[in-house]
Every structure is written in structure tokens, then in C-alpha cells.
Amino acid sequence: TAEPTPDPEPSVKSYQIGDLYDKDGVKGLIFRVNEDGESGLIVSLTEPEQMKAWSTEFITTDATVRNCGEQNTALIYTLQDWQSKYPAFVWCKSLGSGWYIPSIDELRELLIIGSGNSFSHAIYNHKATPFAKDYHYLSSTEMDQWWVYTVDAKSHKQSANYKQYTYHVRAIRSF
């Protein structure tokens, strides 16, 4: 008697930078792919219609992590009355669970990749909101009670700016 042939392994999608991720109600453009090709980070297809402030008050929150915006964002969500004092984070939360404002290092990576021709084409092809090239984007990383780190979308240089000023914002999440 012949042995049964094993079922072929289910095919697993291997992603690339610029691909549209659209699974279980979560949509975004992939800007980082991990070595497994099946996981990484996506960026929201849109940003708020109006630029947002990091905070309406000048206090130290300890959201100082430079390489993990998920930690910074989670910390803001634990603050009393955060919904009335942290406009950018309120917008981010409105996207659903898992989304967060990128840390300064994640934001620089996103904007560097986002300025490339292939990613710009992906933005256009998937009808996503293009990055505002002549403006600063907000990170989740604060410098101190007065300042938050931002990144210039054109030069990719980071700087510290007042928390109460308004900036462009994008959310990211893992997939």
C-alpha cells in the first residue's frame, strides 16, 4: 500500500516594503519587513485633516523611548485626562487598537523610506495620503516638559519643538 502524500504546507504571504497590508480590518502600507517576510510595521494610509499638538500642557510624561513608539504611546494612555490634553494621541487611538505614534527613530526610518520613489508610487497606487514634504512630523518621544522630537519630512533631520505647536502625524503598527 502506498503511503498518503502529506498535505502541502499552506502558502504564507511574503511581504515587501510598499505592499498594502489589508487583513482583519487593518489597512496600511508596509514600511518595514522583518527577516521572516511575514511581519513588520505598517503606516496608516491617512493622517488627520488638521495638524495636531503633542500636548496642551507642559509636563514631563517620561515618554522618552527613542526606538519604540508603542511604549511611549501606551504611557500617554495611562495619564489622567489624556483624551483632553494629548490631541495627536486621541487621533491615533481613533484608528483602533494596535496603532501608535512612532518614536523618533521609527519616524526617521518611516520618512526616509517614505521619500523613496517606489514608496511614493505605492502611496499613489493605494490612494493613501502623501507625506507633507515641507513640514515636520510628530514623534511620540518627548525631550522634556517643553519639547518633543519631530522630523522634517524633506531633510529627515530631527529637531526638538514645542509640544503645544501643531504638526503632521502618522500612526504605525505591527503586523
By C-alpha distance, which of 172, 170, 171, 168 is closest to 50?
168
Q: What is the pLDDT of residues 109-157, one digit of tens each?
A: 999 999 999 999 999 999 999 999 889 999 999 999 999 999 999 999 9
Strand segments, DSSP code E, in the chain are: 20-23, 26-33, 40-43, 52-53, 136-142, 147-152, 158-162, 166-167, 172-174
Residue at 65: amino acid letter: V
Q: Which residues are CB-contacts of 97 (< 8 A; sequence separation ≥ 6)?
A: none
- Please say whether the beta carbons of 86 and 54 come within 8 A: yes
- Check whether 39 has a pLDDT greater than 70: yes
Distance CA 13, CA 40 (A): 13
DSSP state of 49: S
Average pLDDT over residues 3-13: 64
Q: Which residue has the higher pLDDT, 8 or 157?
A: 157
What pLDDT does residue 137 have? 98
Confidence of residue 13 (pLDDT cuts 50, 70, 90): confident
Question: In sequence order, what DSSP letters do the residues of 102-149 get, joined into one string?
Answer: PPHHHHHHHHHHHTSHHHHHHHHHTTPPPP-TTSEEEEEEE-SSSEEE
Q: How far apart are the first and last CA of the chain?
A: 45
- Please say whether the beta carbons of 172 and 106 come within 8 A: yes
Q: What is the pLDDT of residues 67-93, one digit of tens each?
A: 999 999 999 999 999 999 999 999 999
Determine what percent of the chain is predicted with pLDDT higher than 90.
Answer: 91
